[in-house]
Amino acid sequence: MAQSTFESYLITGGAGFVGSYLAEALIKKGKRVAVIDDLSTGRVENIAPLLSHPNFHFARATIMDSIVMDRLVSQADIVVHLAAAVGVQLIVEHPVHTIETNIMGTESVLKSALRYGCRVLIASTSEVYGKGYRIPFNETDDVLLGATDKHRWAYAASKMVDEFLGLAYLDEFGLDVVLFRLFNTVGPRQRGQYGMVIPRFMQQALKGEPITVYGDGTQRRCFGHVKDVIQAIIGLAEHPEAPGYVYNIGSTEEVSINELAARIKDITQTHSEIIHIPYSKAYAPGFEDMARRVPDTSRIQNLLGWQPQYTLDDILNDVMVYEQQQLGL
Ligand code: UDP
């Protein structure tokens, strides 16, 4: 049976939105935590309260730097690999960076982990389900991606390669690998500039600007609180039976984007109008969105008993309080 008490974590992308919450929770549990982040989308402010903690170490470097990676992995007994190109806006605008970071970065992490025999958790994404229409999405479903001239699908394909690579390292070399697919994950500190809808709508509402719904707004999503999501990640990290599988992590509370805009308008009591913008203007001509995205979370529930504790209303309240503070309201 694999080791199940890990004391020394390395989090790639640990200055990012999800990574910084994870780092904080692990430090609170008394773990040693090292973070590697090139601050391309991560921010030092996210980890500022941890920087002076004796159990915390921050390396500003890219995961492609194999020398730094190797040194950090040699000092860890488990790696949580979150560093990746994220955000639909960023992915559509910088496809080369997306593909290279996601594929070469994961390869670099796995090579070092193999050298030192570390458990590795690799973050993947619900984008992998692409245009899947069988709801809810189960980890064993076939995947249906769009054509290669639509850059959005490069993200899904690159993350699929990461999953294949992780499982191949497990099957061929016996490396202890766990994969998880994050569904829409939100909460305070998430930034809106790479596309994420909740911080964008909340900022627009609080500033009295138009709330920009893309497409006709009938597309549906399930938003999970980052605090729930990191509990699922920690559960997988610690569970001896977790390796060898992919796990969906997300909420199953569905909402349409029109309804989300209306709820945000309501709780902020804004006079902002809700406007609709065609996808071709918001992203690029030919952009394809998913109509519905709901996870089947029975696999992780069966393993860990994990279930989200926060509702969408809780999330919207938390994000509103945070954004009000940011805007000095
Ligand atoms: N969206 C929107 N207005 C915005 C940003 C996003 O209507 O200002 C939509 C987007 O087209 C998608 C949904 O909100 O249908 C969720 O977008 P996000 O980028 O947060 O995550 P995705 O589900 O696309 O990964």
Domain coverage including residue 137: 3-185+224-251+294-309
Separation between Cα atoms, residue 245 and residue 213, nearest integer Å: 36
Q: Tens digits of per-residue pLDDT, 86-110?
A: 877 888 888 898 899 999 999 999 9
Residue 4: the pLDDT is: 57
* Model confidence band, residue 193 (pLDDT cutoffs 50, 70, 90): confident
Task: For residue 291, give the DSSP letter.
Answer: S
By C-alpha distance, which of 201, 182, 217 is closest to 308? Answer: 182
Helix/strand/coil (H/E/C) assignment for every residue in 150-200: CCHHHHHHHHHHHHHHHHHHHHHHCCCEEEEEECCEECCCCCCCCCCHHHH
> What is the number of alpha carbons within 13 Å of residue 23 lying toward its C-beta?
30
117 within domain boundaries? yes
pLDDT, residue 224, reads 98
For ligand 1, the distance from its centroid to the CA atom of residue 200, given in whole angstroms, is 9
Q: What is the pLDDT of residues 11-21, one digit of tens each?
A: 999 999 999 99
In a domain, 80, yes or no: yes
Instruction: Answer yes or no: is 155 within a domain.
Output: yes
Residue 47 in domain: yes
Is residue 96 a part of any domain in this protein?
A: yes
Q: How many domains does the chain have?
A: 1
Contact call for residues 28 and 22 (beta carbons, < 8 A): no
Query: Which residue CA neighbors atom 5 of ligand 1 most closely?
Result: 197
Kindly state the tokens that stand for 231: 């509990």
Domain containing residue 121: CATH number:
3.40.50.720
Which residues are annotated as catalytic?
A: 155
Q: Whose CA is nearest to atom 13 of ligand 1?
A: 197
Q: Please check whether residue 209 lies inside any domain of the structure.
A: no
C-alpha to C-alpha distance for 110 and 114, rounded to whole angstroms: 6
> Does residue 29 lie within any of the structural domains?
yes
| pTM for the whole structure | 0.96
Phi-psi region for residue 87, left (φ > 0), alpha (ψ -120 to 50) or beta?
left
Q: Which two tokens stand for residue 284?
A: 């690029």
Q: Where are the beta strands (DSSP E) in the chain?
A: 8-12, 32-37, 56-60, 78-81, 119-125, 177-182, 185-186, 211-214, 220-222, 224-225, 246-249, 254-256, 274-277
CA distance 284 to 24: 37
Residue 150, in any domain of the structure: yes
**CA of 218 relative to ligand 1 center, distance in Å:** 11
Do 262 and 268 contact (CB within 8 A), yes or no? no
Write the pLDDT tens digit of every residue in 40-99.
999 999 999 999 999 999 999 999 999 999 999 999 999 999 999 887 788 888 889 889
CA–CA separation, 304 and 247 (whole Å): 11
Nearest CA to ligand 1 atom 24: 88
In DSSP terms, 231 is beta-bridged to none
Q: Is 70 in the pocket of ligand 1 (CB under 6 A)?
A: no
d(CA 225, CA 236): 17
